Amino acid sequence: MQLATVRVAGGGTRVVRLDGEVATEVVGPADVGELLATTGLRAASAADGPEYAVAELDYAPLVTAPSKIICVGLNYKAHIAETRREPPTYPTLFAKFADSLIGAHDDLVRPPETESMDWEGELVIVIGSHVRRVSGPEAEAAIAGYTIANDVSLRDWQYRTTQWDQGKMWADLTPVGPVLATPEEIPFQARIVTDIDGAVKQEGEIHDLVHGPAALVEYVSTITRLRPGDLILTGTPSGVGHVRQPEEQLEPGQMVTVSIDGIGALRNRVVRG
């Protein structure tokens, strides 16, 4: 099953279930996070509200106000190698805020304060239940599904100190969506690809992680409570701009596409701020 949060005429957002070219409204919840916290996926599978054409959907952030956005750095082996670091024993965590999130097709407005804006395509875990200190099957069961993010990073701000947050948590710079895909939608060898104007920059397999999804839920839930709609960005494959020779960055006018098999694609045009 695939679910999305979409903007509707007159303002506000709704949850829809996607079935081929048709999206059916799940009457009640305003976003996927609210649905997971209330009626859950079972209600979405039986929804029979108003219908929309999928091609005309205006995607909002999948979860408009998650209580937590936890991000994992250095979690793909190839990316660790290109940064010339050692594989981490424990997940490398940082955080974003709800104000960071934009929709799957919204513009990426490049802040005037940066000269080094980079891309990072990522698989995202969407939490489906209230959990704390879970492990094994319980951690797996806490995952409602997966979506996509572009962890857009301002490298000149990120590396001002040893703490990364100031280059990662900028407002309106993290596209998330287009849909929540439940786990059975994702092929085992699903690929994640980031391209800029059609030129592939990143390509990897989503299961090539140092710390996999269930292990991340286990680790993060040990530290803090996880709630329905919380997001865990699992890290990015190799091919980011700042380690390329010569270094590359996102420029106004470019179209950035991040796709994952079974989920779909983010498509965001960079515009000058």
Per-residue pLDDT of the chain (273 residues; tens, 9 = 90+): 999 999 999 899 999 999 999 999 999 999 999 999 999 999 899 999 999 999 999 999 999 999 999 999 989 877 888 887 888 899 999 999 999 999 999 999 999 999 999 999 999 999 999 999 999 999 999 999 999 999 999 999 999 999 999 999 999 999 999 999 999 999 988 999 999 999 999 999 998 899 999 999 999 999 999 999 999 999 999 999 999 999 999 999 999 999 999 999 999 999 999
- What phi and psi, each to the nearest 5 degrees, are found at residue 164? -85, -20
| Domain chopping of the chain, boundaries | 2-59, 69-272
Question: What's the CATH number of domain 69-272, 3.40.50.2300, 3.40.1440.60, 3.40.50.1980, 3.90.850.10?
Answer: 3.90.850.10
Size of the chain in residues: 273
- 199 CA to centre of own chain: 21
- CB environment 14-29: b (16+ within 10 A), e (fewer): bbbbbeeeebbbbeeb
